[in-house]
Amino acid sequence: MEMKAVVSSTGLMLLFAWLSPSQALYFHIGETEKKCFIEEIPDETMVIGRYRTQLWDKQAGSFLPSTPGLGMHVEIKDPDAKIILSRQYGSDGRFTFTSHTPGEHQICLHSNSTKMALFTGGKLRVHLDIQVGEHTNNYPEIAAKDKLSELQLRVRQLLDQVEQIQKEQNYQRYREERFRMTSESTNQRVLWWSIAQTFILIITGIWQMRHLKSFFEAKKLV
pLDDT for the residue numbered 65: 80
Q: Are 164 and 44 in contact (CB under 8 A)?
A: no
Judged by phi (left if over 0) then psi (alpha if -120 to 50, else beta), residue 110 lies in: beta
pLDDT at 186 over 60: yes
pLDDT at 83 over 70: yes
CA within 13 Å, CB half, 113: 3
pLDDT for the residue numbered 122: 61
Q: Which of 117, 136, 155 is the last residue of a domain?
A: 136
Kindly state whether residues 127 and 185 are assigned to the same domain: no
Kindly state whether residues 54 and 147 are assigned to the same domain: no
Q: What is the count of structural domains for the chain?
A: 2
> Which runs of consecutive H residues, i.e. helices, occur in the chain?
139-146, 150-218
pLDDT for the residue numbered 221: 56
Kindly state whether residues 162 and 205 are assigned to the same domain: yes
pLDDT at 149 over 50: yes
Kindly state whether residues 127 and 50 are assigned to the same domain: yes
Kindly state whether residues 167 and 122 are assigned to the same domain: no
Kindly state whether residues 127 and 182 are assigned to the same domain: no
Kindly state whether residues 182 and 95 are assigned to the same domain: no
Q: What is the mean pLDDT of residues 13-31?
A: 58
Q: What is the mean pLDDT of residues 139-148?
A: 76
Kindly state whether residues 125 and 52 are assigned to the same domain: yes
Kindly state whether residues 93 and 104 are assigned to the same domain: yes
pLDDT at 58 over 80: no
Going 171 to 172 to 176 to 177, the CA torsion angle's sign is negative
Kindly state whether residues 191 and 210 are assigned to the same domain: yes
| Residue 125 domain boundaries | 25-136
pLDDT at 19 over 50: no
Quick check: is 199 in a domain? yes
SS3 state at 3: strand
4 - beta bridge partners? Answer: 16, 38
pLDDT at 77 over 90: yes
Quick check: is 106 in a domain? yes
CATH assignment of the domain containing 60: 2.60.120.680
Q: 150-218 and 139-146 helices cross at what angle (nearest 10)? A: 140
Kindly state whether residues 129 and 143 are assigned to the same domain: no
pLDDT at 197 over 90: yes
